Amino acid sequence: MNSRTYRIKNLHLVAVVVWSGLFTNSLYAIDPAVVEAQQRRVAVVNEVSPTVVAIFSASGEGGGGSGVLISADGYVLSNYHVTSGAGDFMKCGLNDGKLYDAVIVGIDPTGDVALLKMLGRDDFPIAKIGDSDALHAGDWVYAMGNPFLLATDFKPTVTYGIVSGVHRYQYPAGTILEYTDCIQTDSSINPGNSGGPLFNDAGELVGINGRGSFEKRGRVNSGAGYAISINQIMNFLGHLKSGRIVDHATLGATVASVSDGSVVVESILEESAAYRRGLREGDEIVSFAGRPIRSVNQYKNILGIYPKGWKLPLEYRRNQEKETVQVRLRGLHAQSEIIPGQKKKPQPPGKEGAQKKAPKEPEVPAEFAKIYEKKTGFANYHFNQQEQNRILGRLNQWGDYASRNGLWKISGKDQKGNPFKVELSNEQATLSYGGKVWKQSFDGSELTTDPPNTGGLLVALHHLRLFMTHHGFLFSEFMYLGTEPLDGLGNRVDVLTSELTSVQSRWYFSDKDQTFLGFDTQVRPDTDEAEIRFSKLKEFGELKFPSHWSVSSGGANSVEWIIESIQLSPGPKPTGKQVTSR
């Protein structure tokens, strides 16, 4: 080794020592907190990546996008504009490199949400559901998915950023698609990210990415992306599992801000439940569903996160006095507006969806034909039938009501000891109570809401008999609706609905054990319902039947009935095959 080479090597060694010393010196050392934060980010991404889904059209045409698994048996959340481009059958890849078949379940065209089900496993990895209302501007979030459909190895792309804003409202902009109460983030969301998850810093699912600002920007993200809040989606999840095309809600009233900053009713439909509960023009809206309303934007945001038909609390002020009432929400659209093919399919502003044209529908694979059924008003009626069978199977454990389709006699006393007696047959319903007798014929006669202030108790009891003896067979329409909070309070319940002529009923069951909790019957549209609630299941001979009933209508004080005797006579054997729906 010559002296020049020796000097160069020694200088190199000194440089390495000095350079290393800079980072061992406290002034230049990497902050352990920074290393820890990086390691935590990597750990979170590794934890949640198995739940992220890359969605592709099964036909090889059309588009695709992203999704996220929320149940071990394969339910996946995505955007409606993704699945409408990918078709009713899709191919879904996970970061383990495996490709799975998937089928559409339910869609929400207004909220831009779709539910599909991946097939082939019952142990899929699932995302942990977070609370999107707990987000604040400045919180760190991860956007994951399949941008530009580049994830051909099914490994999701990850972008990291902050929450730029919460409770954002975006107008429909010429379509029925409406983003309400959504999350704004600067995490890069590009075409193909649509439908993918937005995770908070703890790895909890807080939103579904849907929109980005791309117009006139070469379809490159400009730092303003939007995600549908997971809290809104969870309100709709039961409805999506019904296989239906679901709709959002309206109160039936428009509002405006006034000079003192309050939000007042500008106009109101007289047919609405809010009007029947006393809301009038000029009343101040104080809160809805427990959330304060201080602007028109907040009013639209809050209404937008609930499904059609939910009953929720409304607080309003008139002459400095507050009133709280329960109101059932109306549908935002006519059915024809939300059925694909009836109207032009909505595209999010900016055309950020990965698809460019509707795909050619592939032939349904023979092994999957049984899990897909077309029916008007449904994305996939098969899943509705499954939910019906799940609930009615538990009801069958009450005994053989199908053979008790003759005369029904029910008697007992109210909470004050006053006796009552009910007789029900195919032709007539009779109630003897409080020294009076009411009768309702079902021979084509006009249906009434007798007795007064009950919303049509006689008609309701007639429909209860039809429901218990024939389930859905005798109704013109019968389906699983989804879930909702019973009477606007507490835990959510499963809801079946039936329709016969103008009469509609909602049948409520516990979503945990399918206990029959009661029902509402509306004799005519836009009228108060007869509301019956059950408790204390009791054995009456070979049958089980609730012994305590609460009967009310329109928010009035309820009457408590205690059933002491039931006599359900056999009737003629049903002709044809009995089914649970039609």
pLDDT along the chain (582 residues), means of 10: 49 46 60 88 95 89 87 97 90 93 96 95 97 96 86 86 92 78 90 91 95 54 82 97 96 92 94 95 95 92 94 94 94 83 48 46 70 94 96 90 94 96 96 96 92 95 96 94 91 95 95 90 95 95 94 89 95 55 37
Q: Are residues 4 and 73 in the same domain?
A: no
Same domain, 267 and 351: no
In a domain, 170, yes or no: yes
Closest CA to 124 of 88, 78, 70, 67: 70
**Tokens 């809290």 correspond to what residue?**
231
- 3-state secondary structure labels for all residues of 448-497: CCCCCCCCCHHHHHHHHHHHHHHCCCCCCEEEEEEEEEHHHCCCEEEEEE
**One domain, residues 437 and 560:** yes
Phi-psi region of 139 (alpha: psi -120 to 50; beta: other; left: phi over 0): beta
Domain-located, residue 347 = yes
State residue 295's pLDDT score.
92
Same domain, 261 and 296: yes
CA distances from 162 to 74, 187, 207, 474 (A): 30, 7, 13, 55
**In Å, how far are 304, 311, 313, 535 from 268, measured between CA atoms?**
18, 18, 17, 37
Nearest to 244 by CA among 118, 343, 114: 114
Answer yes or no: is 575 within a domain.
no
**Same domain, yes or no, for 427 and 520?**
yes
Whether 580 is covered by a domain: the verdict is: no
One domain for residues 162 and 82? yes
CATH of the domain at 541: 2.50.20
Site of tokens 């602007």: 295
- Helix (H) or strand (E) holding 211, with range, is strand 204-212
Q: Can 112 be counted among the known catalytic residues?
A: yes
Q: Do residue 129 and residue 271 come from a single domain? A: no
Question: For residue 570, what are its two tokens?
Answer: 């056999």
pLDDT at 259: 87
Q: Are residues 23 and 169 in the same domain?
A: no
Domain limits for position 123 = 31-244+339-372
Query: Catalytic one among 81, 462, 463, 470?
Result: 81
pLDDT at 217: 44
Are 287 and 402 part of one and the same domain?
A: no
pTM for this prediction:
0.87
378 inside domain: no
Strand 249-250 relative to strand 253-257: parallel, antiparallel, unpaired? unpaired
Q: What phi, psi does 322 have (nearest 5°)?
A: -95, 150
Any domain includes 103? yes
| Distance between CA atoms of residues 156 and 53, nearest Å | 8
> For residue 16, how far is the Cα from the chain centroid?
61
* Number of domains making up the chain: 4
Whole-angstrom Cα distance, residue 252 to residue 274?
7
In a shared domain, residues 170 and 231? yes
Active site residue 443: no
Query: Do residues 279 and 359 share a domain?
Result: no
Q: What is the pLDDT of residue 19?
A: 45
Task: Supply the CATH number for residue 273's domain.
Answer: 2.30.42.10
85 within a domain of the structure (yes/no): yes
440 and 310 housed in the same domain:
no
Rounded to an integer, what distance in angstroms lies between the CA atom of residue 67 and that of residue 288?
Answer: 31
Indicate if 81 belongs to the active site.
Answer: yes
Last residue of a domain, one of 300, 331, 362: 331
Kindly name the residue from 194, 272, 498, 552 that is annotated as catalytic.
194
Catalytic residue (one of 66, 84, 88, 112): 112
